[in-house]
């Protein structure tokens, strides 16, 4: 069995005509969750810039969760998270920080 002329006979990776390995491009550094979070932030920022005076804009969390659902990417959420900002306003947040495990998944004993 003769190996392909531009393939390494040992690992099968592509080679030049002189037999040197062609370096593979590095993998994409972002995962799907990071891409959705970035897009959610950018879309919210763009909506705030082009919003008409008095127009209600969904929060970054809500828009990111909707975008993740539309793209089929699971984002970790909390049940009823309420935070108080330093200014004293109450903010309801459903999106957990990047890399966190959602509370129902953390409490699920079958996956542990």
- pLDDT for the residue numbered 22: 77
The per-residue pLDDT string of the chain (112 residues; one tens digit each, 9 = 90 and over) reads 445 567 877 777 778 887 777 777 778 888 999 999 999 999 999 999 999 988 888 888 888 989 999 999 888 877 666 666 677 766 666 777 777 765 555 555 665 5
Of the candidates 9, 67, 13, which has an alpha carbon nearest to the alpha carbon of residue 43? 67
- pLDDT for the residue numbered 61: 85
DSSP assignment, residue 88? S
pTM of full prediction above 0.75: no
């Amino acid at each position: 069995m003769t190996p392909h002329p531009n393939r390494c006979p040992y690992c099968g990776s592509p080679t030049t005509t002189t037999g040197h390995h062609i370096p593979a491009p590095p993998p994409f550094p972002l995962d799907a969750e990071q891409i959705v979070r970035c897009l959610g932030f950018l879309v919210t920022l763009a909506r705030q810039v082009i919003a008409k005076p008095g127009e209600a804009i969904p929060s970054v969390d809500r828009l990111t969760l909707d975008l993740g659902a539309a793209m089929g990417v699971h984002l970790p959420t909390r049940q009823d998270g309420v935070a108080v900002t330093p200014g004293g306003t109450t903010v309801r947040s459903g999106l957990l920080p990047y890399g966190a495990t959602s509370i129902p998944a953390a409490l699920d004993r079958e996956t542990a």
